[in-house]
Chains A and B, each alone.
Chain A
Amino acid sequence: MARTAAPGIKDAAAIVGIGQTAFAKQLPESEKTLACRAILSALADAGIEPSEVDAFASYTMEETDEVEIAKSIGAGDVTYFSKTGYGGGGSCATIAHLATAVATNQASVGVAWRSRKRGSGPRPWRDTTTQLPTPAQWTRPFGLLRPADEIAMLTRRYMHEYGVTRDHLFNVALACRNRANQNPSAVMYERPLTRDMYMTSRWISEPLCLYDNCLETDGALACVVVSAERARDCRHKPAYIHSAAQGLPAQHHGMVNYWNDDPLTGPSWTTARHLWKQADLTPADIDVAQIYDAFTALIPLSLEGYGFCARGEGGAFTERGALETGGRLPLNTSGGGLSEAYVHGFNLITEGVKQLRGTSTAQVPNASTCLVTAGEGVPTSALLLRS
């Protein structure tokens, strides 16, 4: 039989179920319990029995493995499971892997999830014995200890080279907070932010202040992925996975990316090239974006990387309400990691699905395309969702 080229995964699979727990600084239940609640809720949302689940995808820093999850929820025989590295860089890769598994008939019902007690649990940077994926001997002895310090280093250089200001970073923090103020599930629902609060807040690592940093949250979320054919029979309007990509750039060094020729073009640039190459869409066609926001500075860097503006223009892009409702590119419409919940970016995926269903608490009218990204600054991943 003649071989033909693989057809690719464009629009071959869809997210048909989403689920989440409450988000809070502290939840009493274990990560395993929270994971089971989110997954069962996503399956109920899809109208699919847990016994039909035959694929799982997760990303590192997840404490509950698929063996425990599959037993707990009563999954059937599982024929596909994957785990992507680099913490927040892997969020969208989970959906990409399930789409691939479903499109190539390795599985029929896939579940991706994230459960995390970052609000009440330990901070990863306090662990001085575990080597992080980047070589710590070159940074940690000198007191470059936390992700905030590592990204602040790139931020100051970025501000220096391109004239990005703290007001640009505030624009990002404000847009996320304004959307959280519309979202009763958001940790910051009833906590408005003002420019004065931002400019006078305490430093975490100069030039990043408190409001440039994401929340620390307990909570869990999940998504259910099936084939496009099956998606048409599910309860809600499918969110088709139009394009998906991962990115580990040549000579990249993780969050301490100070050791290549151009440290300010991070993994989002590599991921974006592959994402758009496979897509029928361009950045101008995107109605709403959910961009990974562990730190405000990642937004202008990602806007450049994903092609919404030219190199060095990410700060200026945020001006004149561009990221607000009705702006050029409404951003992180649930409040994102900065103001809804920091669950390693998984809430950005479920919010993308809500926008395409028309059920967001900050709905963009008739949104039919959404970019979702995972953590910039580490090996990352991204999705283009369409209705």
Chain B
Amino acid sequence: MDHDLLPPTTDPDGAPFWDYTSRHELRVQSCRTPACQTLRFPPRPCCPHCHSFDTEWRRMTGQGRIWSYVIPHPPLLPAYAEQAPYNVAVVELTDAPHIRLVGNVVASPAARLDSVPPDRLRIGAKVQAVYWTTPDGTTIPRWMLERP
């Protein structure tokens, strides 16, 4: 299985995120205390602001902007080396600018990691979440440029 991309190795805090992406929903963990309601990422057991353990997962629109990006070149793990050079971006969510997700900007939901030419990428570019179910059945969020 050397040539498969790495699946997310999830944990009890992170599992709901991946359950929601399998339903094509982008949700971020939030404190459920009415007076607080602070979003947090990556998910954790309790709210660092009000210390409540009462949480919910709030749905996001999936709109974002590229905060930064890199273009990795080999040496890389085999599955990634085959598609290199490719992009990895940090996307800042329009709904919550301090929540940022790492992901790939692709030409279509199932496209290769290198499907968008690097010169099409720039910090600040608008992107939209799309969903791709990998051959092993995991659904991961990816990003498409609003203006390719």
Binding site for B on A (CB under 8 A): 123, 126, 128, 131, 135-146, 148-149, 152-154, 156-157, 160, 202-207, 251, 253, 256, 258-261
Contact = CB atoms under 8 A, between A and B. Distances in A.
Interface string B130-146: 00000000001000000
Contacts of B9: 131, 136-137, 140
A32 B148 CA distance: 55
Contacts of A260: 98
B41 interface: yes
Contacts of B72: 143-146, 148-149, 152, 204-206
Range class of the B interface residue count: 35 or more
27 contacts: A123-B75, A128-B77, A137-B9, A137-B14, A138-B101, A142-B102, A143-B72, A143-B113, A144-B72, A146-B76, A148-B72, A152-B72, A153-B90, A156-B68, A156-B69, A157-B68, A160-B68, A202-B73, A203-B71, A205-B71, A205-B72, A205-B73, A206-B118, A207-B70, A258-B68, A258-B90, A261-B98
Interface of B: 5-11, 14, 18, 41-42, 48, 67-73, 75-77, 80, 83, 85-86, 88, 90, 98-104, 113, 118, 123, 140
Nearest to B80: A143
A156 to B, nearest CB: 5
Given A142-B102, A204-B73, A205-B70, A137 B11 contact: yes
A258 B70 contact: no
Nearest to B68: A157
Contacts of A136: 9
A153 B103 CA distance: 12
A152 B70 contact: yes
Contacts of A142: 88, 102-104, 140
Contacts of A153: 68-70, 88, 90
A141 B140 contact: yes
